Structure 1
């Protein structure tokens, strides 16, 4: 057999191998139930949880579909009450002819009541079990996890997959509105940090539901203690330095402006002063003007000066409002304690055990520098141009 024929035979063998592999994968789909969402709610017994699994229906396959949500639904739900997550899954597997497959799970959702009790002891399985992915999104439901996973979304056949897409979209502007399992685990390991987790709310109307991120849940020692609404979320985001181009509306006595802030450069500096530790914030950013209303009989440079000053004042107000709220809860959502430890490991080692007493008294110094760099296609509004023409 010459070299040419050998190559032909080798190509044929490879093609057959790919075809057979595809058939093998198709057969495997008939033996597994693919979980797309996992929910944990508080049970009547304090030592147990109500576990909810959202399982995707695979087109072209037949099998167990108990708990299907509506005709034509692309998923069904399975429920169990048990003391642990894996033991609950084992209980469900005994009721069905397929193996439960967790590797494609999109979201882990804790019900609000369970979050108030604590989530730490249920985190172990997520970081230990091989099928669990550390990139999975973690959420807290404003009601129960079951409510979220059984909801039928108007634009998405599968609510868990729809949530995953929504989180990805929201996080393009505010990264703090997304929490991955790996990030939450890391924050929970920091002794002084209070982790935050996005809160998901479902509004139902006419049989369909719309999900939205309504804020951030604040955890203290793994328990829900409060939340940031969306206004405070923005104040939190400025300090965390993970905003992109953010819409920023300004109202003054002279008029209204729709602006955006981008190219943000932030430096958080933990320092020790005469009165103790404090945080120094250096914030720089570019302002783009998208729309202006009002400001009649004013020159362009006067308007820009007013807008620049107003942006700085409002930005500082939003930052301090969120910071003071976190101090009232005694929850270091920013990880400032960790920053002090990194910069002053020897000094802060003595202060770490007293951080709960220090944080509510922590001061913040803010230096904000904003520059108007973009006015759109025109510099003046129409009425400004009219005023200029009258004065020529």
Structure 2
């Protein structure tokens, strides 16, 4: 028995050598957010928000901010280590944020390090911020000390909304390998006020061929999410059929979008079959919902979803921006088919079914 325990201890020591010891952690700084900006010469400026792994006197984590510059992002990263008495570890990074200026120059100049450096985790959120790195890190967030954790929590709450976007580093890197090389990232805005500065998610930032080229508004994001099957929860409004001056808010319980691709006479026929289950979340004024009235409400809801999806598709079709993965879907269905500017040769058809259930206002 003693021999067995001794062998077990030896193997445990071998297998656990790769883990951080208490002393190792005490010598490390853990990054929560990495922000990529550029200077006036378009050279990278890297900001890192971090905390120390262990404090002997207190469990309170101090927020540390580092700034590094260089000719390349790796150069800036190494210069940050020169300004810190502890090594910065990136395995806990919650958000990788590019400023608009850096994203306008092009991701290809900066993104390679995030794929090569093993410490950067693939599930980190990727975002675009409208301002500068200095602005973002100087914002005082009332309910959270760390920007990276705050952004992570904001994006985690996207599941309750259909008007926001989530994109991980892994998803971005995969999108760069697809035919259209187009991705939509979370867009962070800065509400500048004298009394309180606030950051919030507002729609999406469109990246194509590694460059930030356009925006999705919050309303357009709703239609986009329906088309690409990314709606799970959320709210949208329709007019109250019993009082045209009032609104009814429908809360989405679930939604599923199925895609059908056909190549017919030189054009792509794209069919989106959307099945959405809702409940009445709020009614301005009374709504007496017998079956006939609920049928009317479901028809109005389907009409609203059709309006949202048709509007966003039409806008980006005119701009020749395939944010809907059409080219990739066509390649999977017809691998030998070669069509230039594929979204310009695509006809969209939507088949929308809305079911309203479990409403206290329904009268049988």
The interval holding the TM-score normalised by the smaller chain is: 0.7 to 0.9
TM-score calculated relative to the size of structure 2: 0.87
| Residue 344 (structure 2) aligned to one of 344, 357, 360 | 360
Per-residue Cα deviation, 1:127-186 (whole angstroms, up to 9, x for no partner): 111111111111100112332233221101111111111111224544962111110011
TM-score calculated relative to the size of structure 1: 0.81
2:202 paired with 1:211:
no
SS at match of 2:143: coil
Q: What does residue 309 of structure 1 align with?
A: 299
Q: Distance in 2 between matches of 1:258 and 1:174?
A: 13
Q: What does residue 201 of structure 1 align with?
A: 189
Counterpart contact for 2:162–2:235, Cα < 8 Å: no
Question: Matches of residues 177-188 of structure 1 in structure 2 within 5 Å?
Answer: 177-188=165-176
Q: Distance in 2 between matches of 1:275 and 1:7?
A: 75
Q: RMSD between aligned alpha carbons?
A: 3.1
How far residue 59 of structure 1 moved from its aligned partner, in angstroms, is 5.4
How far residue 205 of structure 1 moved from its aligned partner, in angstroms, is 4.9
Q: What does residue 29 of structure 1 align with?
A: 25
2:225 paired with 1:234:
no
Counterpart contact for 1:41–1:49, Cα < 8 Å: yes
Counterpart contact for 1:39–1:146, Cα < 8 Å: no
Counterpart contact for 1:175–1:242, Cα < 8 Å: no
**In proportion to residue count, which structure has more helix?**
1
Q: 1:263 to 1:37 in 2, by over 3 A?
A: closer
Q: 1:27 to 1:204 in 2, by over 3 A?
A: farther
SS at match of 1:189: coil
Q: What does residue 47 of structure 2 align with?
A: 52
Counterpart contact for 1:151–1:208, Cα < 8 Å: no
How far residue 45 of structure 1 moved from its aligned partner, in angstroms, is 0.9
Per-residue Cα deviation, 1:32-89 (whole angstroms, up to 9, x for no partner): 222211111121113x111111121455269xxxxxxxxx983121112212122111
Per-residue Cα deviation, 1:284-338 (whole angstroms, up to 9, x for no partner): 2223223334467x77344223212211111100001111121132111110110
Counterpart contact for 1:193–1:333, Cα < 8 Å: no
SS at match of 1:185: helix
Q: Distance in 1 between matches of 2:324 and 2:34?
A: 28
In the alignment, structure 2 segments of 5+ residues that lack a partner are none
Q: What does residue 69 of structure 1 align with?
A: none
In the alignment, structure 1 segments of 5+ residues that lack a partner are 63-71, 386-392
